[in-house]
Amino acid sequence: MRLIAANWKMHKTVSETQDYIKRFLKFVEHPESREILLCPPFTSLYVAGQLLEGSGVKLGAQNCHYEKQGAFTGEVSIPMLKELGCEYVIVGHSERRHIFGESDELINKKVVACLEEGIRPILCVGEKLEDREAGMTFKVVEAQVRLALSGVEEHTDSIDIAYEPVWAIGTGVPATPEDAVAVHRFIKEVLKDINPKARGKTRILYGGSVKPHNAPEFMKHSEIEGLLVGGASLDPEAFAQIVYSF
């Protein structure tokens, strides 16, 4: 089933979250026909979990720490997220990589921890503009995928991957659906090589300037098995349009 995920980033207080979810749920019909996921900030997860209960809309976090507990000031562990009802965690988002300096090694530790704890990671990969211009897109994406999955190669069915070209995030300039499809196919090949026994359960999502008007163009390609939506997910009506764009 295709997965349409909202990444709110550092937006919405608790009361704004309550208001959003009440409005959004009015647009939700047949939630069983697609997977719908909201990833609010940590502070909104509790109230979001309560409001989403029984709606068929799932809850995820935007980040996690790889240890279960300990002296890690300011961090949030996977057991804490699971107790709030989170079924997914976004791992290695480009803002985590490039603003907060997360390395492939750290991202790998988080992926391993997610699999151990039984929460489904959405691993984000994507090239910078200079990589694309240097013809390095496939090399960069392959390295990110291989490093993130190091040691958990047999478990690729338990993760999803979001292809998010860095230059397309928050810029209003999405990849063309054809360019996205080429990278999605490539990631599938890399996954086959990493885990020949995989049952093909890893969905490859596209993210980067997805809006209601361009979502149908992406979703008409079967290789695009979902979307990770930032800015346009902040408005419940716009996000619902994207959710029902196919």
Is position 116 annotated as part of the catalytic site?
no
Give the nearest distance from C-beta 233 to ligand PGA in angstroms.
Answer: 7
Q: Is 28 left (phi over 0), alpha (psi -120 to 50) or beta?
A: beta
Give the nearest distance from C-beta 41 to ligand PGA in angstroms.
Answer: 14
CA nearest to 109, candidates 74, 154, 142, 77: 77
Q: In the complex with ligand PGA, which residue's Cβ is closer, 39 or 114?
A: 39
Q: In the complex with ligand PGA, which residue's Cβ is closer, 76 or 229?
A: 229
Catalytic residue among 35, 102, 164, 225: 164
Q: In the complex with ligand PGA, which residue's Cβ is closer, 8 or 244?
A: 8
Which residues, 6+ apart, have CB-to-CB distance to 221 below 8 Å? 177, 180, 181
Is position 221 annotated as part of the catalytic site?
no
Q: Which residue is nearest to ligand PGA (CB)?
A: 230
Give the nearest distance from C-beta 172 to ligand PGA in angstroms.
Answer: 8
Q: Which residues are paired to 35 by β-bridges?
A: 3
Q: In the complex with ligand PGA, which residue's Cβ is closer, 190 or 232?
A: 232
In the complex, the residues that contact ligand PGA under the rule CB under 6 A are 7, 164, 169-170, 207-210, 228-232
Beta strand spans in the chain (E): 3-7, 35-39, 58-61, 86-91, 120-125, 160-163, 204-207, 226-229
CA nearest to 102, candidates 114, 119, 90: 90
Catalytic residue among 35, 65, 93, 127: 93
Q: Catalytic amino acids?
A: 93, 164
